[in-house]
Structure 1
């Protein structure tokens, strides 16, 4: 009877109270703490920017871990399907907004990426029960490049209070992160176009069965 409910032969649904969902919830809880740490002293505190980076890194690592655990242990739940992308977009969105406030990211970049990310996420969630659109390699590459760039920009790379020996490496890494961010923006727009194109191709599935002709 393992894996069935009531002898009907249907697989038992995993409980929402599981480790992957706990890690997802942790990521959501960490978002305001990350933003606050990054914005302390207007982003001029090397210590707090390092703390913000650690929070960001923990969030991104747990994103990978909770997904692997959920798939390996068959703990994928409706809550997880909704909360996981929200947690990811909330953390990266907070990074973009905070870095734009500090001046390390242009506002137009933050707005373009946020509009794309949230429009895709909300549309994906709204059609999840009718159409399954698997994550593509381009989207995964976009996420990786985005996380690397935002993580690097969170660090105090150009802080004047840091040892002089770190000035050149910090400046180089800052511009490398900016190049990665530019690549992330391009990938974000391209993968977003692919997503909306695929949704359009499956518009018949979204609209439901057509009535029979008289």
Structure 2
């Protein structure tokens, strides 16, 4: 269990703590929401950090290849599902984003059965970053027309890059479907 893998496990362990502060609001609004936001930022930061360390020090493991993207999906999807309940994000956007994750995960499994490894693409990384920025912004809970407009733009951008990355993965690896 090297440092990058420990950071990935930490990200997963922070999810229930994040959700507790976001949904249970033990400190009351808006303090609990800001604590949840801080936890989300810390957890999101471990994503970039674990990948950087793993590549720089050649600490890439099968565990990391499996758990790192799963940890990202669990963190972001947990946040978005909780934010549906809070009225911060429309369920349709979350359904599209989660559907993409299931589709691409299934696609990668089929490819894996044929001995093909589908690495993360630039669009997939942009998708993850866009989703994390959207969640962070929405967690701020800003009020007003401008704040609402910016939130809606971030939601639309997240959905756009989610769909674009799915199309990109499938198009570039369409041979897997034959």
Flag whether TM exceeds 0.5 (same fold).
yes
Q: CA RMSD in A?
A: 2.1
Q: Does structure 2 retain, via aligned residues, the 8 Å contact 1:113–1:185?
A: yes
Partner Cα distance (1:177, 1:22) in 2: 33
TM alignment of 1:40-119, pairs within 5 A: 40-41=24-25, 45-119=29-103
| TM-score, reference length from structure 2 | 0.89
Change (3 A) 1:183 1:118: same
Partner Cα distance (1:140, 1:174) in 2: 25
- Listed as ranges, the gaps of 5+ residues in structure 2 are none
Comparing 49-58 and 135-144, the one that deviates more: 135-144
Aligned residues: 176
Q: Among 132, 141, 146, which residue is 2:131 paired with?
A: 146
1:162-193 C-alpha deviation (Å, 9 max, x unpaired):
xxxxxx5xx53343122011111011012112
Is 1:197 equivalent to 2:152 in the alignment? no
1:88-146 C-alpha deviation (Å, 9 max, x unpaired):
00000011101101011111111111111233134325634711223222222222211
Q: Among 33, 38, 43, which residue is 2:22 paired with?
A: 38
| TM-score, reference length from structure 1 | 0.75
Partner Cα distance (1:79, 1:29) in 2: 16
Q: Does structure 1 retain, via aligned residues, the 8 Å contact 2:100–2:162?
A: yes
Change (3 A) 1:89 1:142: same
Change (3 A) 1:54 1:174: farther
Q: Among 101, 110, 121, which residue is 1:136 paired with?
A: 121
Change (3 A) 1:122 1:58: farther
Partner of 1:208: none
Which runs of at least 4 in structure 1 moved beyond 3 Å after TM superposition?
A: 125-129
Change (3 A) 1:41 1:30: closer
How far 1:27 moved relative to its partner?
0.4
- Listed as ranges, the gaps of 5+ residues in structure 1 are 1-16, 159-167, 205-214
